[in-house]
Amino acid sequence: EIVLTQSPGTLSLSPGERATLSCRASQGDSYLAWYQQKPGQAPRLLIYGTSNRATGIPDRFSGSGSGTDFTLTISRLEPEDFAVYFCQQYGDSLYTFGQGTKLEIK
Amino acid sequence: EAQLVESGGALVQPGESLRLSCAASGFPFRNYWMSWVRQTPGKALEWLADIHPEGTNKLYVDSVRGRFTISRDNAKNTLHLQMDSLRAEDTAIYYCARDVGISKSSNWSFDAWGQGTLVIVSS
C-alpha cells in the first residue's frame, strides 16, 4: 500500500507570496493528484496526472515531480487560496491520500 | 456540470446499519466508475470503495471490506453504500465522488464530489 507524506503540516505565508507544498510517496511510478479543501466544503480537484490543471483551475497552480517526490506550487497567493491541500495517488487497486497541508495567512 | 448529492447520514449506535445514497445528475452516470470517500473528524481523507460503470466490479479498502457494500442503479442515476456493523471509528463525513482516469494506468483521480453526508456512530 502506498503511503503519502505531505510537508509541511502547516505553511504560513502572505498574499502575493509563492507557496511550495510537498508530497512524498513510499513507492514510485504513479501519477499524483492534488485537491484543495476549504472549511465546510468538499475537496476540489486542482491537479491530475501530476502536472495537469483541472477544468477552471487558475494557472498560478502548477504540479510537478516524478518517482516519489511531488510538488504543488502556487506562484502568487490570492486570499482565496488559503485552505487545506491534499495529495492523492492510485495504485494496487486502491486510492491513497496524504494527511494534508494547511496553508494559512501569515 | 456534474452534480452529486448524498443523503442518508444519521446518528446510529455501534453495530447498527445504515444505507447512504448519492444522486447524480449533469453527466452520463452509467459511463463512470464511482467511489465513496470519507473524512474523519481529524480531517483525514480515506477512500472506501469504488464500482465499475456496469456494477460488475467492486473494490474496497481493507478497513471496510466485508462490512460495507457499494452498489449502483444506473436507471436511477444513484450510487449507494450499505454500511453494516458500524463502529465508532466509522464516524465521518461520507462523500461520493466521480472517478476519472486512464484505464490500466495509475492516472486516476476524483473530479466531482458531493457535499457529503454526516454519519455519527455513538452509544
* Model pLDDT for residues A66-87, shown as the tens digit of each residue: 999 999 999 999 999 999 999 9
A42/A86 Cα distance (integer angstroms): 12
d(CA A77, nearest CA chain B) in Å: 23
pLDDT at B70 over 90: yes
The whole-number average pLDDT for the span B15-22 is 98
**pLDDT > 90 fraction of chain A, expressed in percent and rounded:** 93
Chain B residues near any Cβ of chain A (below 8 Å): 35, 37, 43-47, 50, 59, 61, 95, 100-101, 105-111, 113-116
CB contact under 8 A, A33 and B109: yes
Rounded Cα distance, A4 and A100, in Å: 10
C-alpha cell at B18: 445504515
Q: Tell me the three-class secondary structure of B55-83, residue by residue.
A: CCCEEECCCCECCEEEEEECCCCEEEEEE
For residue A92, is pLDDT > 90?
Answer: no
Contact at CB, B106 and A31, closer than 8 angstroms: yes
A1, pLDDT greater than 90:
no
Predicted confidence at residue B112, as pLDDT, reads 98
- CA nearest to A97, candidates A28, A46, A23, A42: A23
C-alpha distance from B97 to closest chain A C-alpha (Å) = 10
Mean pLDDT of B33-59: 97
